[in-house]
Amino acid sequence: MVGKVEKASGQREKNRVTVVSLVAAILLTSAKLAVGLLTGSLGLLAEAAHSALDTVASVMTFFSVRVAGRPADEDHPYGHARVENLSAVTQGVLLTGTAVWISYESLRRIFFASVEVEPTVWAFVVMGTSIVVDLWRSRMLARVARRHDSRALEADALNFRADMFSSAVVIAGLALVVLGERLGNAPFLLRADAVAALLVGIFIFFKSGALAARSVNVLLDRAPVGLQERISRRAQSVPGVVGTPRVRLRESGDRKFAEIVISVSRTASAAEGHEISERVERAILEEDANTESVVHVEPVPPETETMAEAIRAAALGMGFRIHHERVRRFGDSFEASLHVEVDVGLTLGEAHDLARGLGEALREQEPRLARVSTHIEVAEPDEGEWREPDTGHGELEEEIKRAVSEEDPGSRCHEARLYRSEHGLDAILHCDFPGSANIGDVHARTERIERGLHVRFPSLEQIVIHAEPREILGEMSH
């Protein structure tokens, strides 16, 4: 809600400054045209033509800013902001045509025709006023353009700042004409007005060409200079991103839209890939607040990927669930063994065909795999509802605790919980071991305990042992 209010307030401010700029342009054009006709100054007439086109540009900006402020809709999913760029192209074409006419008339007066110029004090007053008004307009528009990142207002601000230069050139030309009249023997000074007009024409030509070129680049989806590389570097700085094989940018008014393909490890889960893509989007907003991004995630094998990880990723890509991957290296080749989970409803022949097909596919993807051995297991069914068994199992829980200490004298079971499932009783045990013990050794000991408990308590369907460091438990008890 706050964002919508701020956007509406910004749109009203942009509309207000375009109206002020339009009124100022009409007044200046009228004054320059009147004094130019009275004095016969081509420089003033060139400035009048320039201001007239500035008026047209202000009108176009007035309407384009309003259209560009409309929200995106079904027919314009990227919004309407490119109307500003289309307006700028039109302004550039009009200004270029004016510059060509001014330059032609200037050259005609310099080399072929003699036109008498009668500079008056009003010419200097009008041009001086023009400089002051253009300074005020450019500062006002530039301030609002920076605040709301408006391309159209920024172009207008630059346009009026340039008008100050052309007005100063006309004043200099008129001053030289006055000097030539007073000296009486300096005909070249009498043509200074035409020379000033030529300079104004050349200036308008290059300025309008640059304005049109920038806007055409936006309409042709040319990427903003430097931003594509900055976004790529910023995306690659996000943890989990292996690379950015493709970054595409397009502009629409003051907004930019990025389509980014990032590479992540193929062993990453879908949730991990999604989280990485969201971090990339946030990083891009920090780099450029006006850039909206869509991130596509592609899995790739990272340079640090082990053979076991490559096997796991390839199996997942083929729709298999595997675990206990073991890889052994013999010279330049590898041998792998793994457990494959299959549906409980399959026959042995069907399950064997699946496992054999998996092994062949893995060897095709990893040519260094000389052999793949598979152990077929029944996949765990979907989670059923667990509930604690009826009362009266406290004695069994105590027996299980004592059995743990007998199976492994160095361990101690301080908690045993029993749950009833559709297959029988499941036991979850919390056992403590020395905190300094090697984790591989602890894992082997817990497996040994599980095997012993299954022999002692056939009614237990599944046993899960949670190993905890004894030192931490001692601190917690205090």
Q: With helix as H, strand as E and coil as C, how does 425-462 read?
A: EEEEEEEEECCCCCHHHHHHHHHHHHHHHHHHCCCEEE
Q: What was the pLDDT predicted at 268?
A: 77
Selected residue with higher pLDDT from 57 and 198 = 198
User: How is the chain split into domains, by residue range?
Assistant: 2-219, 227-300, 307-378, 394-477
Q: What was the pLDDT predicted at 478?
A: 39
Selected residue with higher pLDDT from 465 and 53 = 465
Selected residue with higher pLDDT from 97 and 333 = 333
Decide: helix, strand or coil at residue 233.
helix
Q: What was the pLDDT predicted at 298?
A: 87
Name the residue with tokens 């003051």. 254
Q: What was the pLDDT predicted at 120?
A: 66
Mean pLDDT of all residues in 201-226: 72
Mean pLDDT of all residues in 182-205: 70
pLDDT at 179 over 80: no
Decide: helix, strand or coil at residue 421.
strand
Tell me, rounded to whole angstroms, the distance of Cα 228 from its chain centroid: 9
* Assigned CATH class of 2-219: mainly alpha
pLDDT at 476 over 50: no
pLDDT tens, position by position, 102-144: 777 778 777 776 655 566 677 777 778 878 887 887 788 778 7
pLDDT at 473 over 60: no
pLDDT at 452 over 90: yes
Cβ–Cβ under 8 Å, residues 439 and 475: no
For residue 263, the cross-strand partners are 243, 298
CA dist., res. 48 & res. 78, Å (int): 38
Mean pLDDT of all residues in 349-358: 86
Q: 207 falls in which pLDDT band (50, 70, 90)?
A: confident
Mean of the per-residue pLDDT values for the chain?
Answer: 76
Q: What was the pLDDT predicted at 71?
A: 66
pLDDT at 164 over 60: yes
pLDDT at 410 over 50: yes
Q: 29 falls in which pLDDT band (50, 70, 90)?
A: confident
The secondary element (H helix, E strand) that includes residue 414 is: strand 412-421
pLDDT at 392 over 80: no
CA dist., res. 250 & res. 26, Å (int): 35
Q: What was the pLDDT predicted at 453?
A: 92
DSSP 165: H
Does 307-378 match 394-477 in CATH topology?
Answer: yes
Q: What was the pLDDT predicted at 279?
A: 92
Cβ–Cβ under 8 Å, residues 103 and 21: no
β-bridge pairing 321-330 and 412-421: unpaired
Q: Which CATH superfamily is domain 227-300 in?
A: Cation efflux protein, cytoplasmic domain (3.30.70.1350)
Q: What was the pLDDT predicted at 121?
A: 75
pLDDT at 7 over 60: no
Q: 19 falls in which pLDDT band (50, 70, 90)?
A: confident
For residue 326, the cross-strand partners are 337
Instruction: Give the CATH number of domain 307-378.
Output: 3.30.70.1350
Q: What was the pLDDT predicted at 103?
A: 78
Selected residue with higher pLDDT from 331 and 192 = 331
Selected residue with higher pLDDT from 455 and 77 = 455
Q: How many CB atoms lie within 10 A of CB 301?
A: 15
Q: What was the pLDDT predicted at 32?
A: 75
pLDDT at 396 over 70: yes
Paired tokens of 122: 């009003």
pTM of this prediction exceeds 0.85: no
Q: Where are the alpha helices (DSSP H) in 220-347?
A: 227-236, 270-287, 307-317
pLDDT tens, position by position, 306-317: 788 788 878 877
pLDDT at 403 over 90: yes
pLDDT at 208 over 70: yes
Q: What was the pLDDT predicted at 73?
A: 67
Q: What was the pLDDT predicted at 256?
A: 77
Selected residue with higher pLDDT from 391 and 470 = 470
Most confident stretch, 70-79, 101-110, 181-190, 340-349: 340-349
Q: 243 falls in which pLDDT band (50, 70, 90)?
A: confident
Selected residue with higher pLDDT from 56 and 133 = 133
Q: What was the pLDDT predicted at 210?
A: 76
Q: Considering the chain, what percentage of its residues have pLDDT values greater than 90?
A: 6
Mean pLDDT of all residues in 46-61: 70
CATH fold label, 394-477: Alpha-Beta Plaits (3.30.70)
Q: What was the pLDDT predicted at 215?
A: 72
pLDDT at 39 over 50: yes
Cβ–Cβ under 8 Å, residues 392 and 372: no
Tell me, rounded to whole angstroms, the distance of Cα 436 from its chain centroid: 47
Q: What was the pLDDT predicted at 4?
A: 46
Instruction: Supply angle C-alpha 439, 444, 445, rounded to 5.
Output: 95
Q: What was the pLDDT predicted at 475?
A: 47
pLDDT tens, position by position, 276-328: 999 999 998 888 877 888 899 988 776 667 788 788 878 877 888 888 888 88
Q: What was the pLDDT predicted at 464?
A: 87
